[in-house]
Amino acid sequence: MQKNVREVVKTIARLRGDFSRFGESFEVLGSHLQNARSKYDESARKFTGIQEKLEKIEAPKTKELREG
């Protein structure tokens, strides 16, 4: 019975190590996802800004073509 208990304790220790390594990987993944989301939001803001600038530049020209 003591042998079985030792085996169970060893198995639990290995499992705890595996779980710890998984936790570290999970944290890294979370950081990467947060960074990706941050860059996506930043890019979306820049895209919108550029789009608005282009529309302001094009609007007078479009109006001229319609009236001309």
8: tokens are 């169970």
CA angle 32, 41, 52 (to 5 degrees): 155
Is the pLDDT higher at 23 or at 2? 23
pLDDT of residue 7: 96
Does the predicted model carry a pTM greater than 0.75? no
pLDDT of residue 66: 72
Q: Using one digit for the tens of pLDDT, what is the confidence trace for 11-65?
A: 999 999 999 999 999 999 999 999 999 999 999 999 999 999 999 998 877 666 6
Q: Write the DSSP symbol of residue 8.
A: H
**Cα separation, 8 vs 15, whole angstroms:** 10
Handedness of CA 20, 22, 25, 26 (dihedral sign): negative
Q: How many domains does the chain have?
A: 1
> Which residue is it, tokens 């979306």?
44
Domain carrying residue 26: 1-68
